[in-house]
Amino acid sequence: MNPLQNLLDPAILFFVFGVVAGLLRSNLEVPPQIARFLSLYLLMSVGLKGGFSLAHSGLGADVLGSLGAALLLALLVPALGYLLLRKWLSRFDAAAVAATYGSVSATTFIAASQYLAQLQVPFGGHMAVALVLMESPAILMAMALAAWARRQQASEQGGSVASTPGLGAQAPAPSHWHVVREAFTDGANLLLLGSLLIGWATGDQGKLMMEPFSGALFKGMLALFLLDLGLLVARQLPALRQVHPALIGYGIVGPLTHGLIAMGLAAMLSLPVGDTILLVVLAASSSYIVVPAVLRHAMPEAQPGLYLGLSLGVTFVFNILIGIPLYAWVVQRVWS
C-alpha cells in the first residue's frame, strides 16, 4: 500500500475533518462522556485482541525481546530528549517535554494496529504489553530530573525554593511513591492490561463471544474518536504560536529519530516486521493524556501548554497523517 493511501482511510479523514471544523470555530463537539466511553472502548478492544493473539503465540524469544527493547526505549528516549531540549528550555520544561516524548500514545498505537490489519501484516498481541510498559518509566525519569532541578535551583539561590516565579507559593511536590502509584494505577493502563489478560485467558472461545463488540464496531468507533481528537488538536494549535521554531522541528524530527533507534534495536533482535513497526510507532509517539495529567501536579513549574501543544498539535498530527504509513513502508522495505 502506498503510504499516501492512508489519507483515504475514513477514520483518518474524520480526524482531518475535526481539525478543519475546529479551526472554523464550529460548535460541533463530541460530548465529554461520549469521548471518554470511546477511549475506554478502544483500549478494551485493543487489549482483548492482544490477549487473543498472545494466547496463540505464547511467550517466546521474540516476545521477550520486544518487551526488553520497549523498556530500554522508555528510558533512553527521555534521557536523550532532556539533553537536547536543555538548549532551548528550562530544566523543568525540558524534563516535562522529554517525559511526554519518552512515553507513548495509545491512540497512535491503535491507529497503527488498524493500519497493519488493513495491510494484512501480522503482529504479536504482546505489543499491547509493550504499550503499558512504556507508559510509566518516562514519568519516573521526569520526577527524578525535577527533583534534581529543584536541588540545583535551591543551590543557586542559596537555600530552599519556596516559590516559582509566576506560580506564587508552591505546594510540596508529590512523593515518588505517589507518582509511581498514579502511573501504574491509571485507569487507561489498568483497562488495557486487564483486557489483555482476559483475552489471553479466554483465547479462541472468548474471541468468538466478543467478536461483535471488539471486531465489527471497532472502525466506526475509531473514526468518531479521531473526530473528537481533531477538534481537540484545533484548540491546541494557537498555543504553538509562542513556541520556538526549533521545538516545532523537534516535534517531528525527534519522533523520526526515536523510530530509527527502535528500528536499530529491532534489527539487532531480529524481530518480525509487524512487531518492529509497532515498536517504531511506540518509540515515535508521545503522550498527550496520561503524562500531561500527572505532570500538571507533579511538576507545576513546567508549562502545560508547551508539552501538551507539541505532543498533540505537532507529533500526534504528524504520526496520524504521515508517520504511521511512513514507518510501515520503511520497515517493510528494509526487512524485505
Alpha helices in the chain (DSSP H): 10-23, 32-57, 61-85, 91-102, 106-119, 127-133, 137-157, 176-184, 187-211, 218-236, 245-269, 273-284, 290-298, 304-310, 317-318, 324-335
Q: Which residue has the cell 523510530?
A: 259
Residues of the chain with pLDDT under 50: 161-171
Phi then psi dihedrals of residue 168, to 5 deg: 75, -150
Q: Give residue 150's pLDDT.
A: 77
Return the pLDDT at 329.
94
pTM as predicted:
0.80
pLDDT of residue 217: 83
Q: Tens of pLDDT along 253-267?
A: 999 999 999 999 999
Q: What pLDDT was estimated at residue 162?
A: 44
Tens digit of each residue's pLDDT (9 = 90 or more) over 288-317: 877 776 777 777 888 877 888 888 889 999
Contact 86, 150 (CB under 8 A): no
Q: Give the pLDDT score at 7.
A: 64
| pLDDT given for residue 50 in this prediction | 77
Record the cell numbers describing residue 250, joined without a space. 523537534
Domains and CATH numbers, the chain: 3-156+172-335 (1.20.1530.20)
Q: Which residues pair with 164 in a beta bridge?
A: 168
Angle between helices 61-85 and 91-102 (to 10 degrees): 160
DSSP assignment string, 154-195:
HHHHTS---EETTTEEPPPPPPHHHHHHHHHS-HHHHHHHHH
